[in-house]
Structure 1
Amino acid sequence: MSELQYFEDLEVGRSWEPGTVEVTEEEILEFARRYDPQPFHVDSEAARRNFDGLIASGWHTAAMCMRPLAESVLHEVAIVAAMGVDDLRWHEPVGPGDRLTVGVSVAEKDRWNDERGLVTFALEATNEDGDLVHSRKDLVVVERRQADE
């Protein structure tokens, strides 16, 4: 693990490519059956009416992208809490066999209070063809190295 990064250490424009995610039919079905049982997520025949076949729930896509973000970026940041997500989008369907590459950058920084700052992390995920499939902005409260006195 690298040295813990504080609010002051995170510069706007800094970027990471935290990893890739392999999408499997089994995981698509498991997630959808439990959390988003719409026909195009749980039934290949129904999915073929509007798509090339079974597609992942957008919520599943967002969750799959969270793991590399958490393990490779947020794990090294002095996080207090998440405040929400802005501009959440699913640009293209994600299906079995897709390989998603996650990219993250610091989009904005604002002082929160004397002890903390608000950092907006912009996340984009592309598939193996380079098509943007998912994007969002995660708003995260981060500790400041030293509180203002």
Structure 2
Amino acid sequence: MGDTIYFEDVLIGDRVEFGPLTISREEIIAFAREYDAQPFHLSDEAAAQTHFGSLSASGWHSTAFFMKMFVTHMQASGHQEASLGAIGVDELRWLKPVRPGDTLRGTSEAVEKKLSRSRPEMGIVKSRAALINQNDETVMTMMPIAMFRTRPA
């Protein structure tokens, strides 16, 4: 594949940008039917009765859009993170609805890192991440907390 990015390779301030991804009405409804079947995610008529006004994607779907773009970017760049998964996400905020036809892009910036005291083969990296629409409006923010392998001795 390409270079492996280990814990030691991640620097505070490292930033990646990825996307774009255009969102369709059909995928919003399909996701909602399967995972978040609230009426305002299923039809314009139901959404018109709420503060949304028209169909909008589930916030959980927006989070999945972010992950799809991020992983696609990493694979396309030829780099492979020495990822060991994530332990959570802090400060997840859905700031604006994502609508059919929106084109999203993402950013992620490393803001904190620390070596595990109990497991020296791994470290933790916290990032500041955002999802931005075609109007340069931030629609989602979060602080993912990921585990990375340390470089083998």
Normalising by structure 1, we get a TM-score of 0.92
Q: Matched residues in 2 for 1:146 and 1:8: separation? A: 11
Q: What is residue 115 of structure 2 aligned with on the other side? A: 111
Q: Secondary structure at the match of 1:82?
A: strand
Structure 1 segments unaligned to the other structure (5+ residues): none
Q: What is the letter of the counterpart of residue 113 of structure 2?
A: K
RMSD across aligned C-alpha pairs, in angstroms?
Answer: 1.5
Q: Matched residues in 2 for 1:144 and 1:7: separation? A: 5
Q: What is residue 128 of structure 2 aligned with on the other side? A: 122
Q: What is residue 20 of structure 1 aligned with on the other side? A: 20
Describe how 1:28-43 pairs up with structure 2 within 5 A.
Answer: 28-43=28-43
Aligned length: 147
Structure 2 segments unaligned to the other structure (5+ residues): none
Structure 1 runs (4+) deviating above 6 angstroms are none
Q: Secondary structure at the match of 2:5?
A: coil
Alpha-carbon offset, residue 122 of structure 1: 1.9
Q: What is the letter of the counterpart of residue 20 of structure 1?
A: P
User: Quick check: 1:21–1:65 contact (8 Å CA) kept in 2?
Assistant: no
Alpha-carbon offset, residue 46 of structure 1: 1.4
Q: What is the letter of the counterpart of residue 51 of structure 1?
A: F
Q: What is residue 66 of structure 1 aligned with on the other side? A: 67
Normalising by structure 2, we get a TM-score of 0.90
Tell me the percent identity: 38
Q: What is the letter of the counterpart of residue 5 of structure 2?
A: Q
Describe how 1:86-101 pairs up with structure 2 within 5 A.
Answer: 86-101=90-105
